[in-house]
Structure 1
Amino acid sequence: MTVNIPANEQELLAMPAEDYMNEAQLAYFRQLLLNERKEVETTLEEMRGSIGMAESSGDDSDRAASEEELRYTLRQADRETRLWRKINATLDLIDEGEYGFCEETGEPIGLKRLLLRPTATLSIEAKQRQEQQENHYARRR
């Protein structure tokens, strides 16, 4: 059986609410995530190359600038690696049939939110509660 994957966001959003996370929607998000993972892998490969090419010669200010650039690249590579892991975990959720539902409440996350952040695991309401709790605890310190 072939699944007709929506060609664009408008087709996806035009689907009836009762079709939430049907095979076509799951296929759409799987492809979206696979494309994003490929982009992240390409970026990480470019970063590895630039890290390997980093020079440590020159005067003190050249070395300092080079080291600062290397630190920035390493931080960026760390963020990209975390995103790569999150994408893989999200692909696992699709395989397990749990994608698109809030891990806290079990309610649908919503297509619009998932289109903006395909790796989202919390509904907007649950995410807001989480952020409020984080802010509350941060202020108490």
Structure 2
Amino acid sequence: MALNKKQLAEFETQLTDWKAELEMGQSANVHSMTELEQTSFPDPTDQASMETDRNFDLRIKDRERKLIKKIDQAVVRIKDGEFGECESCGGDISVKRLHARPVTTLCIECKTAQEQEERTRLD
């Protein structure tokens, strides 16, 4: 079941809005990190806590950066007519799955198989 033009337009709008929201958060974080803030505390525990918080924020922002890249790739797939197509088996990705995770490139069956294979390799 291929997606119709209306559904594709809705997904494109959802993705571009999501990207804009993430980018706004990214720029706000960069701005807050570059503002004057106390970077040295007399108490080592306070210093460690501040560094832990900063590292946590940086990990989140790195994940958001990667998500922005996936969003861009999904928009390209929409424009190329490949959105909603599983890159593994070539079948259709369900609309329900696309609503849950619009940047996905695998149908639920292929994703489940991939995760099972990853768990097997870790064991």
Whether the TM-score (by the shorter chain) exceeds 0.5 is yes
- Does 2:18 align with 1:36? yes
Partner of 1:131: 115
| CA deviation profile, 1:42-94 (whole Å, cap 9, x unmatched) | 11112212322343122122221111111011001101001000000111111
Q: Secondary structure of the residue that 1:39 maps to in structure 2?
A: helix
Partner of 1:76: 60
| Distance (Å, rounded) in 2 between the aligned partners of 1:57 and 1:97 | 53
Partner of 2:95: 111
| Distance (Å, rounded) in 1 between the aligned partners of 2:28 and 2:119 | 36
Note the aligned Cα RMSD (angstroms): 1.2
Letter in 1 for 2:96: K
Which runs of 5 or more residues in structure 2 are unaligned? none
Q: Is the deviation greater in 52-61 or in 78-87?
A: 52-61
State percent identity of aligned pairs.
Answer: 36
| Distance (Å, rounded) in 2 between the aligned partners of 1:50 and 1:109 | 39
| Distance (Å, rounded) in 1 between the aligned partners of 2:93 and 2:67 | 19
Among candidates 4, 7, 21, match of residue 3 of structure 2: 21
| Distance (Å, rounded) in 1 between the aligned partners of 2:92 and 2:30 | 38
TM-score normalised by length of structure 1: 0.81
Q: Secondary structure of the residue that 2:98 maps to in structure 1?
A: helix
| Distance (Å, rounded) in 2 between the aligned partners of 1:55 and 1:127 | 45
The list of structure 1 runs, each at least 4 consecutive aligned residues, that deviate by more than 6 angstroms after superposition, is none
Task: Tell me the number of residue pairs that the alignment of Structure 1 and Structure 2 aligns.
Answer: 121
| Distance (Å, rounded) in 1 between the aligned partners of 2:92 and 2:18 | 22
